[in-house]
A and B are shown apart, each in its own frame.
Chain A
């Protein structure tokens, strides 16, 4: 059984650029959630996908968008990057719509200059 993986591990972008982050779910999981964690803060929920459909969204602007693929892997896209988007982006997978235990990936550290 493979765990949750994320790519890339680190990324540096400039303000105004676009970025795509990727997440592979743990085997057998059909739900993926994305979180943004600023330094010294707890993770903030961005959105969740359940069986390829968005199943909830946090208080993030539309320039944060996502996809879930038939194999339940997922992408997080952020357009028009801002300095405040610098954070650790975490992906978590679980089974089911109402979420049992979430299993987190190691995260992608994004720095926007």
Chain B
């Protein structure tokens, strides 16, 4: 069974700092991996999806990488802003199911 782990569970950084969120998964047989953002009590907003054949994807200040062989993905956020404060979740897609980590709660301090 696929297990997804996210480290750290919580992170607090000053505004403007670059940061990296980590996601690891136990089964490398995935179709893709998706990063989401969740604001308190809300649904999930898709940030980036990386196909299994890709190594990275970029959108604005966000860059996600994928290393299937080592079972790892990272989400890099450049020049963090207070509006980036949220919980970030990664999900590994095995074909008909996404397995989620428990998320990293990010606080960006003005």
Alpha-carbon gap, A20 to B44, bound state (A): 21
Say yes or no: A97 contacts B96, CB within 8 Å: yes
Say yes or no: A98 contacts B44, CB within 8 Å: no
- Quote the shortest CB–CB distance from B28 to chain A (angstroms): 16
Q: Which of B56-110 contact A (CB under 8 A)?
A: 89, 91, 93, 95-103
- Quote the shortest CB–CB distance from A46 to chain B (angstroms): 10
Say yes or no: A99 contacts B100, CB within 8 Å: no
Of chain B, the residue at the smallest CB distance from A88 is B41
- Contact-residue size bin, chain B (C-beta under 8 Å from the other chain): 20 to 34
Q: Which of A28-63 contact B (CB under 8 A)?
A: 33, 35, 40-45, 48, 50, 55-56, 58
Say yes or no: A99 contacts B98, CB within 8 Å: yes
Tell me if A66 is interfacial: C-beta within 8 Å of chain B.
no
- Quote the shortest CB–CB distance from A62 to chain B (angstroms): 18
Contact A42-B103, Cβ < 8 Å, known A90-B43, A90-B44, A102-B34: yes
Tell me if B26 is interfacial: C-beta within 8 Å of chain A.
no
Say yes or no: B49 contacts A55, CB within 8 Å: no
Alpha-carbon gap, A76 to B77, bound state (A): 36
Which chain A residues have a beta carbon within 8 Å of chain B's beta carbons? 4, 6, 33, 35, 40-45, 48, 50, 55-56, 58, 88, 90, 92, 97-107, 109
